[in-house]
Structure 1
Amino acid sequence: MKIAIIYYSKTGQTKEMAEIIAEGMREAGGEVRLFSVEEAIDQDYLSACDGIVFGTPTHMATSAWRMNQWLMEDSYPVSFAGKLGGCFATAHYAQGGSDSAILSMLGMLLVRGMLVYSSGSAFGQPFIHHGPVALDAVGNHYEEAKDTFKIFGQRFAEKAIELFEK
């Protein structure tokens, strides 16, 4: 099962969270590659993926402009139709707009024909509603959220395997 994580990271925290999500995906049996929108992205690998997760820092209560640019312009050579998609975000504060950032990307994934997955609350704790979020200016939330990111990766890979393994 091939899965990609595509992210933009300004300070390194979103990249670190992508790496933790990838750990969870690998533990669940996924083959995972990470790509920064600031570097060349293997379009053949993306085309072969059954699932793609997108990560962004939160800026002005939405996803980072560079992530949006990649989704709206740079990604068009690759068809996302029918693939499983998910999103995650990092932010400074709980009211900083991280949910809005995730929802803005999920809308773009739906337009591109992706099936979206967050792992919701159906699996119980930890509840991951729109997608996982880590906050760096709220106590130890950033460190505490790392387990949630790994669990999200596991759940995402398990769902991709359930849906697409032949």
Structure 2
Amino acid sequence: MTKIAIVYHSGYGHTAKVAEHVFKGAADTGADVTLYKAEDLASPDTGPWDELATADAIIFGSPTYMGSASAPMKQFMDASSKSWFADAWKDKIAAGFTNSGALAGDKSSTLAQFATLAGQHGMIWVNFGMKPGFNASAHEFEGALNRAGHATGLATQALTDLSAEDGPDAADLKTAELFGKRVAEVTERWVRGKA
């Protein structure tokens, strides 16, 4: 059974909701999935770093604030330098997701930060692999999967005047589950191939 860690930060609960749906999609494949809060990994000397070292994949998640990952997520990223020195994450699968109030919202910048972090650690980055669901006049916005059209990772939207109870909407949460499923399936193939 593959082990997948999801490390995320959520400022208002929206990104936590996305993380839970990524978790569901990955767990539905039979993977052993665990959610970790970035705040619990703010220091390289405290927190479940050993658990991340034993995972087959790490999925990074954060809201996009002012065009980049949130400060607590960035603190986790910086604290991962101790794992970098030890090559603790080398050849693990990596992927990322982000959420913001705007449909685009410079989320690509956050996904690029995660991909760069994975590259620094020698990890294998998994893209989303899903075509945009809202790119033609015949498509409807409501219910469209991957409607923001991000390929590097998962990007969802939670309108800023809605609580985490009301956003992201069902289509984005379904997209999150499909993303979790994809990462889990790629991880399983990777682990099987290494064996």
Instruction: Return the TM-score normalized by structure 1.
Output: 0.89
Is the CA contact (8 Å cut-off) linking 1:134 and 1:141 kept in structure 2?
no
**Which of 114, 135, 141 in structure 1 is aligned with 2:157?**
135
Counterparts of 1:7-156 in structure 2, within 5 Å, are 7-39=8-40, 41-72=47-78, 74-78=79-83, 79-121=88-130, 126=146, 129-137=151-159, 142-143=168-169, 144-156=171-183
State the identity %.
Answer: 26
Gaps spanning 5+ residues in structure 1: where? Answer: none
Equivalent residue pairs, number: 164
Partner secondary structure for residue 105 of structure 1: helix
Greater CA deviation, 80-89 or 40-49?
40-49
Using the alignment, how far apart are the partners of 2:159 and 2:15 within structure 1? 14
Provide the alpha-carbon RMSD of the alignment.
Answer: 2.1
Using the alignment, how far apart are the partners of 1:47 and 1:30 within structure 2? 16
Runs of 4+ in 1 over 3 A off after TM superposition: 124-128, 138-141
Using the alignment, how far apart are the partners of 1:3 and 1:77 within structure 2? 20
Is the CA contact (8 Å cut-off) linking 2:14 and 2:167 kept in structure 1?
no
1:59-100 Cα shifts (integer Å, max 9, x gaps): 11111122112112x223332110000000010102311111
Q: Counterpart of 2:29 in structure 1: which amino acid?
A: A
Using the alignment, how far apart are the partners of 2:191 and 2:156 within structure 1? 29
Using the alignment, how far apart are the partners of 2:116 and 2:29 within structure 1? 27
Q: Counterpart of 1:142 in structure 2: which amino acid?
A: P
Greater CA deviation, 91-100 or 17-26?
91-100
Gaps spanning 5+ residues in structure 2: where? Answer: 42-46, 134-144
Q: Counterpart of 1:94 in structure 2: which amino acid?
A: L
Residue 129 of structure 1 deviates from its aligned partner by: 0.4
Using the alignment, how far apart are the partners of 1:25 and 1:128 within structure 2? 19
Is the CA contact (8 Å cut-off) linking 2:18 and 2:168 kept in structure 1?
no
Are 1:163 and 2:190 matched, yes or no? yes
Is the CA contact (8 Å cut-off) linking 1:118 and 1:128 kept in structure 2?
no
Is the CA contact (8 Å cut-off) linking 2:8 and 2:73 kept in structure 1?
yes
Is the CA contact (8 Å cut-off) linking 1:120 and 1:128 kept in structure 2?
no
Residue 106 of structure 1 deviates from its aligned partner by: 1.0
Is the CA contact (8 Å cut-off) linking 1:68 and 1:105 kept in structure 2?
no
| Structure 1 pair 24–95 and aligned structure 2 pair: CA distance change class (3 A) | closer
Using the alignment, how far apart are the partners of 1:43 and 1:100 within structure 2? 26
Residue 134 of structure 1 deviates from its aligned partner by: 1.2
Is the CA contact (8 Å cut-off) linking 2:128 and 2:182 kept in structure 1?
yes
Partner secondary structure for residue 142 of structure 1: coil
Using the alignment, how far apart are the partners of 1:39 and 1:141 within structure 2? 25
